Amino acid sequence: MVKRVKLYFTPGLEVEFTDRDRAIRQIYELAEKGTRVPLVIYGPEGCGKSALLKQATEVLGERGFDVIYIDALHREFITHTDVKEVVEKLSEVLAETTNIALIKLADTVISLAKDLLRKWRKKKIALLVDEVFQAIGLEKSEIYVKSLLNLIEYPPESYENIVIITATSEGLSRWRIGRHRWAWLMPIWNMSKSGFKELYEKIPGDKPPFEYIWKLTSGNPFIFSQLHRINWNIDIIVNTLIEEKNLTPIFITKWRKWLEEAIKDPDTLWNPNTPEELINELTVRNLIIYFLRDRDPALWIDEAPPEKDLELGIGKYVAWQTPLHREVIKKALEIYK
């Protein structure tokens, strides 16, 4: 059994990486086969993409890879390598405080990968790049993915295996990257009910019943951690998200008719008469996942969401990122009547 990494949950509380057994098996498969093109994982904010990539550093390191993980947005890195220059260079870039440093960090990872192959003669390398598109800007996402692909297709030296995985919550980056054949995109969903219950039971202290938390979060560990941090006060999160998602009276008034239907069934947004502008607005604000894939397990990282579960805000083609995101829209509709 691979070592399970410790992950931040709330201040003063860390939990062991939980569940996602199928996803870990998929990482093992990548360790055997490599990635022919960069793998881009996308899914709801806070669903556990970063946690999976951090766990993947252990899986790949165990399999003999020199591994570099960066979270470009939060200025964090993890390495599994005996090349001390890698850590030194990443630390040097992260010491810079400008926004340009985030772009530099993203480029540095590719440069270090080339050095691992050419200078240090490493044969198995893995790059795990988290939230890079938000850090460097959506307009640069396509060319960055192409740079990652070039590392696979035109390496400075021959190699045995390369694994490149990047993850994003930036809704529109999926469409930008998907226009080309430079990456393989795979969705990941919130945790399964059984896995989420396992996480729920690891959290000490008094907490609401599991079913109550499940119906608010649909298995989203970040929303769970936020609820825990504010002593389960839903109103605080809802009111904060109304502001963070910029749900102004103008926005709500303009789209009221469609939003009122979508809170009942998100698949109403799949109607061809739905304005594309609204779909883009809800997507870029990370309120919905639009165009859900067929639930064939081969098309998903870990377990796919149910075919349809209106109680959790999941339709066949469209879903609210969590039931709480739906509640945010519902509250905004009430406030701005």
pLDDT in tens, 247-259: 999 999 999 999 9
End-to-end CA distance of the chain: 55
- Same domain for 55 and 150, yes or no, is yes
As a dihedral over the C-alpha atoms of residue 52, residue 26, residue 295, residue 323, rounded to 10 degrees, the angle is -10
DSSP 74: T
- Same domain for 200 and 59, yes or no, is no
Structural domain boundaries enclosing 295: 193-335
Between 100-118 and 84-94, two packed helices, what is the crossing angle to 10 degrees?
170
- Same domain for 296 and 241, yes or no, is yes
pLDDT digits (tens, 9 = 90+) for 74-100: 889 999 999 999 999 999 999 987 778
Q: What confidence score (pLDDT) does residue 181 get? A: 86
Question: Does residue 1 sit within a domain?
Answer: no
Contact at 8 Å (CB) between 116 and 125?
A: yes
Question: pLDDT above 90 covers what percent of the chain?
Answer: 87
State yes or no: pLDDT of 312 exceeds 70. yes
- Same domain for 112 and 146, yes or no, is yes
Question: Does residue 62 sit within a domain?
Answer: yes
Mean pLDDT of the residues in the chain? 95
- Same domain for 36 and 154, yes or no, is yes
Confidence bin at 138 (pLDDT 50/70/90): confident
Longest alpha-carbon distance in the chain: 65
Domains identified in the chain, total number: 2
The DSSP annotation for 299-321 comes to GSBSPPPPS-BGGGTB-SSEEES
CATH classification of the domain holding 155:
3.40.50.300
CA atoms within 13 A on the CB side of 204: 5
* Residue ending a domain, choose from 160, 187, 214: 187
State yes or no: pLDDT of 172 exceeds 70. no
* Residue ending a domain, choose from 141, 164, 187: 187
Contact at 8 Å (CB) between 70 and 76?
A: yes
Q: Over range 67-75, report the average pLDDT.
A: 91
The DSSP annotation for 137-176 comes to -GGGHHHHHHHHHHHHHS-SS--SEEEEEEEE--TTHHHH
Confidence bin at 290 (pLDDT 50/70/90): very high
